[in-house]
Amino acid sequence: LWLDAFVRHPLRDSWWEERDLTPLLSDIDIPVYLGCDWENVPLHLPSTFACWKALAHNPNVRMGLLGQNGLTWPWESLHTEALAWFDHWLKGADTGILDGPPIRYVLPGAEGWHTAEQWPPAGTAHRELALRADGALAADEGDPGSRSLITLGSGTGRVRASAIDPPALLDWTSAPMEHDLDVVGDI
């Protein structure tokens, strides 16, 4: 599976389309609990949001987005939510899992739970930012640019990186924020 998923099909193509279960969600009429954490951005988080949209017809859908370190082993935070969900639907227990809005989420770095009736939450403004060649994160793309890097590889016996090595990570910096900003919604 790993060879197929990540080596032969690194981008979305017909192989992925054949395995996409999202179109089948319109037939789901049983209670569904969607849970994820903010740390799984490339893997689980986008599909959680896609499923939420595809299940909009179902009145018994809830979504919980756990905060930073929300799904660390042994995943107690998810167990608490799942136990309340299953106790309600399978045992008829009043666990409070359906009280309040259908979406509960934690913002990484903020205290406590937040709730929303819709996703993204009401009042969220969609914003696209460009990863500029000059290292800035900004609304405009800026001037085109490039940077050439020489890679010597690990066979040279060098133990430490030098100025000619490619960067170990890429980062972009925005202008200083004038106010606190919550980043929430589809990514």
Q: Is the distance from CB of 48 to CB of 88 less than 8 angstroms?
A: no
Assign 108 to helix, strand or coil: coil
- Which of 83, 121, 84 has the alpha carbon at shortest distance from 101? 121
What pLDDT score does 134 carry?
Answer: 87
Q: Based on the domain organization, do 99 and 133 belong to the same domain? A: no
- 88-137, pLDDT tens digit by residue? 999 999 999 999 999 988 887 777 888 999 999 999 988 899 999 888 99
Q: Based on the domain organization, do 90 and 131 belong to the same domain? A: no
Confidence of residue 160 (pLDDT cuts 50, 70, 90): low
What pLDDT score does 58 carry?
Answer: 95
How many Cβ atoms sit within 10 Å of the Cβ of residue 63?
A: 21
Mean pLDDT of 137-143: 92
The rounded distance, in Å, linking the Cα atoms of 132 and 140 is 8
**Quick check: is 183 in a domain?**
no
Last residue of a domain, one of 77, 94, 116: 116
Q: Is the pLDDT of residue 48 over 60?
A: yes
Q: Based on the domain organization, do 79 and 156 belong to the same domain? A: no
Q: Is the distance from CB of 37 to CB of 65 less than 8 angstroms?
A: yes
Q: Is the pLDDT of residue 47 over 80?
A: yes
Q: How many domains does the chain have?
A: 2
**Quick check: is 121 in a domain?**
no
**Quick check: is 187 in a domain?**
no
Q: Based on the domain organization, do 33 and 87 belong to the same domain? A: yes
The rounded distance, in Å, linking the Cα atoms of 88 and 80 is 12
3-state class percentages of the chain: helix first, strand second, coil last, to nearest 5: 25, 15, 60
Which residue range is the domain that position 29 belongs to? 2-116
**Quick check: is 40 in a domain?**
yes
How many Cβ atoms sit within 10 Å of the Cβ of residue 145?
A: 9
CATH of the domain at 111: 3.40.50.1820
Name the CA radius of gyration of the chain, rounded: 22
Mean pLDDT of 142-151: 73
What pLDDT score does 72 carry?
Answer: 61
Q: Is the pLDDT of residue 3 over 70?
A: yes
